Chain A
């Protein structure tokens, strides 16, 4: 009996040793070595794109986290990358939040299960830059300076504009935010979440604020707008979800345009409106884990996402890729997908970190009283 246990133990150890050798890989044939790629800040810094591809293929694996397959077309993007480079993708916790992504990076640290790449909200990206590796994709120049960290610790990937989605079979066409105060909208207008907690809801209040003549530095007019809406009996305090939209409890919802557009599958008459005097943008950001267990595959993944192919895949999913303007200029954009997006006129504005903090503090102190 004891002998058997010992044999089993040896067998287990043997399996681990074999597995460890397998994952370590051998990059002798690639000019982009494993030690070099860990700190490579661009593909050219590691022998060029072909060398990076070879190194990534040698690693053979990529760990991603919190990428729902039905979110911004990630299903097609994951499949596209895996097929193009024959790299197996492990997709963990697809419905996780940005914070959970960062928590996983910290907890899994230098293990082989740690996420290689992250797709996080800006609030989370800004406070966790010490976890990221600097990297600039080949198309780095197409990304506006306000949408990236100058050394490449994070760079925005896709996003959209705050919008008012509505069921046009239940309410009249919306042409301005003040329409919502009318009697036709009694008990119909909702936010996607509580603005003290949810980023989308905070931006919803900020969008109303801009439309009412407020500035990014002072959200008080937005809070006053929802206070009026509440007094008129038009504001619904229920959190808008797919269920409440489908059932008709929240036929008018403030939400990101690319998320709102998805209600069209349940509600055919669903329309998305972005007021021209309040074009408020919100983008997610990519970042590479500095302890990425597959450093070459991580960098290749970013190159894929920021290639015309990757950017167009996001666009098909209804998200606005960060290189959209540049691709429209160069004509490489998927024109059908671009035309399907809700039309936006006006100058886009973006909340800075400091402005978001000011808005948050004002909401914490005033929101509950305003809509009580």
Chain B
């Protein structure tokens, strides 16, 4: 699970240390960041993108990209996107409500401290441990299911959905909601109670306040959080692999499958092509986000 952040660079470094009038050395401060991005983001992407044009024996080919049209890759693409969208939206909604509940309480209260520290831990809880926790509790042999079954409730009557996409979505929400709390709480903290009082003294009701004041202020950060949650779910691998080992419903699993195989089904070039596909999808989503962001921020 990786969490993509967008490190901010402070360009306002004041007077240049050396130099005359013509050359500003302000950009020097950004060099470490640019080197970092170049070495750890652009260079690997370029290597992967170019590598996908070559066969295992080193000859040029377009096959790897053409193979992206294989039916199981198309299906994995659709499934991964829907899974990421659903868990991002539900996670953001529930996480947002939870953060709101915390913010309305005492700023140093026990509830807040408890939820925030729990979120910090749970947002990083993933992989085999998390998948097995679900298998052992609500899975078909788990104690929760056995208890429910003994009391006449068979929630797997129509199939074991835990090992299908809905199950994967449920498990993802387990780390998506706490992550939302962590990233959305600061935005909620920025809302001043005075604004609500102002809205009320001007004759506005709760709906007016949310529609015209709090909503527009929070929406850009809410949208940013949804994007972060989307990327978080989109890139997850170990959790999905531990829960649904067969069929590889998620794109990151398809990469893993194409990279390692003791029966000889290794297609490194194809794995790289899938990786590029994922990069392209995240780029498109990010562009859509920034367009939307620009629009929603306009009223301010």
Q: Mark A residues whose CB is within 8 Å of B.
A: 97-99, 121, 123-124, 187-188, 191, 193-199, 202, 233, 235-239, 243-244, 247-249, 251, 356-357, 360-361, 363-364, 367-369, 371-372
Q: Which residues of A contact B261 (CB under 8 A)?
A: 196-197, 360
Shortest C-beta distance, A351 to chain B (Å), equals 10
Category for how many chain B residues contact A = 20 to 34
Q: Which residues of A contact B160 (CB under 8 A)?
A: 187, 233, 236
Does A198 contact B262, Cβ atoms closer than 8 Å?
yes
Leading 3 A-B pairs by shortest Cβ distance:
A248-B141, A237-B246, A239-B245
Partner of A357, one of B136, B257, B264: B264
Q: Which residues of B contact A369 (CB under 8 A)?
A: 71-72, 75
Rounded to whole angstroms, the CA-CA distance of A16 and B53 in the bound complex is 48
Does B263 contact A360, Cβ atoms closer than 8 Å?
yes
Does B262 contact A237, Cβ atoms closer than 8 Å?
no
Q: Does B140 contact A (CB under 8 A)?
A: yes
Q: Which residues of B contact A248 (CB under 8 A)?
A: 141
26 A-B pairs with C-beta separation under 8 A: A124-B262, A187-B156, A191-B246, A193-B245, A194-B246, A195-B263, A197-B257, A197-B262, A198-B263, A199-B263, A202-B263, A238-B243, A247-B141, A248-B141, A249-B135, A249-B141, A356-B264, A357-B264, A360-B261, A360-B265, A361-B265, A369-B72, A371-B246, A371-B247, A372-B247, A372-B249
Rounded to whole angstroms, the CA-CA distance of A123 and B265 in the bound complex is 11
Q: Mark B residues whose CB is within 8 Å of A.
A: 71-72, 75-76, 132, 135-136, 139-142, 156, 159-160, 163, 242-249, 257, 260-265
Does A244 contact B135, Cβ atoms closer than 8 Å?
yes
Q: Which residues of A contact B72 (CB under 8 A)?
A: 368-369, 372
Rounded to whole angstroms, the CA-CA distance of A369 and B262 in the bound complex is 21
Besides A247-B136, A363-B263, A368-B72, 20 new A-B residue pairs in contact (Cβ under 8 A), listed by A number: A98-B262, A191-B246, A194-B246, A198-B262, A199-B262, A236-B140, A236-B160, A236-B163, A237-B246, A238-B135, A238-B242, A244-B132, A244-B135, A247-B139, A247-B141, A247-B142, A248-B141, A360-B261, A360-B264, A367-B246
Q: Which residues of B contact A368 (CB under 8 A)?
A: 72, 75-76, 247-248
Q: Looking across the interface, which residue of chain A has its beta carbon closest to that of B73? A: A368
Does B265 contact A121, Cβ atoms closer than 8 Å?
no
Rounded to whole angstroms, the CA-CA distance of A191 and B244 in the bound complex is 12
Q: Of B132, B142, B249, B264, which is in contact with the most chain A CB atoms at under 10 Å from its CB?
A: B264
Rounded to whole angstroms, the CA-CA distance of A192 and B257 in the bound complex is 15
Does B159 contact A233, Cβ atoms closer than 8 Å?
yes
Shortest C-beta distance, B261 to chain A (Å), equals 4
With contacts A236-B163, A247-B136 known, is A121 near B245, CB below 8 A?
no
Q: Which residues of A contact B246 (CB under 8 A)?
A: 191, 194, 235, 237, 367, 371
Q: Looking across the interface, which residue of chain A has its beta carbon closest to that of B79? A: A372
Rounded to whole angstroms, the CA-CA distance of A363 and B246 in the bound complex is 12
Q: Looking across the interface, which residue of chain A has its beta carbon closest to that of B72? A: A368
Q: Which residues of A contact B242 (CB under 8 A)?
A: 238-239
With contacts A369-B71, A371-B246, A372-B247 known, is A238 near B263, CB below 8 A?
no
Does A123 contact B245, Cβ atoms closer than 8 Å?
no
Rounded to whole angstroms, the CA-CA distance of A166 and B263 in the bound complex is 25
Q: Which residues of A contact B263 (CB under 8 A)?
A: 123, 195-199, 202, 356, 360, 363
Rounded to whole angstroms, the CA-CA distance of A121 and B246 in the bound complex is 23
Rounded to whole angstroms, the CA-CA distance of A251 and B140 in the bound complex is 11
Rounded to whole angstroms, the CA-CA distance of A98 and B261 in the bound complex is 12
With contacts A187-B156, A360-B263 known, is A237 near B245, CB below 8 A?
yes
Shortest C-beta distance, B80 to chain A (Å), equals 13
Rounded to whole angstroms, the CA-CA distance of A197 and B260 in the bound complex is 7
Rounded to whole angstroms, the CA-CA distance of A325 and B292 in the bound complex is 73
Rounded to whole angstroms, the CA-CA distance of A295 and B244 in the bound complex is 46
Rounded to whole angstroms, the CA-CA distance of A361 and B260 in the bound complex is 15
Q: Which residues of B contact A239 (CB under 8 A)?
A: 242, 245
Rounded to whole angstroms, the CA-CA distance of A233 and B260 in the bound complex is 29
Q: Looking across the interface, which residue of chain B has its beta carbon closest to that of A357? A: B264
Rounded to whole angstroms, the CA-CA distance of A239 and B141 in the bound complex is 15
Q: Which residues of A contact B76 (CB under 8 A)?
A: 368
Rounded to whole angstroms, the CA-CA distance of A356 and B265 in the bound complex is 11
Q: Looking across the interface, which residue of chain A has its beta carbon closest to that of B146? A: A248
With contacts A238-B243, A249-B139, A369-B72 known, is A194 near B262, CB below 8 A?
no
Rounded to whole angstroms, the CA-CA distance of A205 and B163 in the bound complex is 20
Partner of B262, one of A123, A244, A371: A123
Shortest C-beta distance, A103 to chain B (Å), equals 13
Shortest C-beta distance, A326 to chain B (Å), equals 30
Rounded to whole angstroms, the CA-CA distance of A248 and B76 in the bound complex is 29
Q: Looking across the interface, which residue of chain B has its beta carbon closest to that of A193? A: B245
Does A99 contact B262, Cβ atoms closer than 8 Å?
yes
Rounded to whole angstroms, the CA-CA distance of A363 and B263 in the bound complex is 10
Q: Which residues of B contact A196 (CB under 8 A)?
A: 257, 261, 263, 265
Does A237 contact B247, Cβ atoms closer than 8 Å?
yes
Does A363 contact B249, Cβ atoms closer than 8 Å?
no
Q: Of B156, B242, B248, B263, which is in contact with the most chain A CB atoms at under 10 Å from its CB?
A: B263
Rounded to whole angstroms, the CA-CA distance of A372 and B165 in the bound complex is 10
Shortest C-beta distance, A209 to chain B (Å), equals 15
Q: Which residues of A contact B135 (CB under 8 A)?
A: 238, 244, 247, 249
Q: Which residues of B contact A360 (CB under 8 A)?
A: 261, 263-265
Does A243 contact B257, Cβ atoms closer than 8 Å?
no
Q: Which residues of A contact B141 (CB under 8 A)?
A: 247-249, 251
Shortest C-beta distance, A293 to chain B (Å), equals 27
